[in-house]
Copies of this chain bind each other. A is one copy, B any other.
């Protein structure tokens, strides 16, 4: 029933021109106050809605930003997106979400679609299996801001927001050392990924700084799931000198670790301390709550949004901003013994 009403319709009813209506609506100074009032009233009366599409075509700015993540239903990513949306919505930007399902092909497709859709910026976390970067270059060539968060692809001209994984690994390990643990093992994710290498480096540095012996057999590279944690424990406990603490770069692995430890009769944290990484929601709902490292996800999202906004503001200057947020060690039941 409600056919779309345009500024022409308003102009016709007011026996004036579309230009006048446009000026009135945009609070252009060169217009009489009476006319402005009149236009506003009839616009409201006729239920006029500005067509942002036309505006976008004209101005070249869509006021849409694309956000690309592997999966939106991982708490880590959804809370980053929350931060982004919270920050960008009040500034009039709409957030377009896409998932890559961790495949490079979908990442490429998605970027092409977003480019076609004339987004004003792309904020993304790189898919695990991305090996090429020409699609990122294309974004840059089109002169639209590209901001990586968490997982980045190292290249020139791109800003990124990550947490200080080294610091996180260091803090977690150091906490275990302070608790009196002398034999601390580390279960890492895929070391070909920067984030896991950095957490590992933090671990190693903490060990060495404390004058403890670094033992390479205490370092296990594994998948990020519960089973991997269980398997790792079985392996570690069979060593000649088994560890009495574990820092895991994944909360899921840490969960498997705790399960297996209990199964084998250990008391956590009295006999054995465990610290995970990510502050997944479940870590605080467990019977024995888990110590972990919080990655400030909402904060990370907000920061990514702010970096984007800054680039938009200074569109002439090419900024390459690297923001590194400090992770937050959260001490809970799995590593709280007092010695």
B-contacting residues of A (Cβ < 8 Å)?
A: 1-2, 4, 49-54, 56-57, 62-64, 71-75, 78-79, 81-82, 85-86, 89, 92, 94-99, 110, 112-118, 141-143, 255, 281-282, 285-288, 298
Contacts and interface: CB of A to CB of B under 8 A. Distances in A.
Contact of A116 (B50, B75, B79, B85): B50
A113 B88 CA distance: 13
Nearest to A110: B89
A79 B72 CA distance: 7
Interface centre among A53, A56, A98, A282 (most CB of B within 10 A): A53
Nearest to A106: B89
A52 B118 contact: yes
A113 B75 CA distance: 27
B85 A99 contact: yes
A95 B96 CA distance: 6
B118 A53 contact: yes
Contacts of A89: 98-99, 110
Contacts of A92: 113
Contact of A96 (B71, B82, B94): B94
Given A57-B57, A86-B99, 5 more contacts: A53-B56, A75-B78, A78-B78, A85-B97, A97-B97
A136 to B, nearest CB: 14
Contact of A94 (B2, B82, B98, B298): B98
A178 to B, nearest CB: 27
A54 B57 contact: yes
Nearest to A287: B287
Contact of A81 (B72, B118, B285): B72
A82 B86 contact: no
B85 A81 contact: no
Contacts of A117: 52-53, 63-64, 94
A95 B97 contact: yes
Given A113-B94, A255-B285, A51 B85 contact: no
B51 A116 contact: yes
A72 to B, nearest CB: 5
A28 B245 CA distance: 68
8 contacts: A2-B141, A51-B116, A53-B56, A53-B57, A72-B72, A72-B82, A94-B114, A287-B287
Contact of A71 (B4, B51, B82): B82
Contacts of A63: 117
A222 B307 CA distance: 42
A46 to B, nearest CB: 13
A116 B82 CA distance: 22
B73 A79 contact: yes
B94 A95 contact: no
A255 B287 CA distance: 10
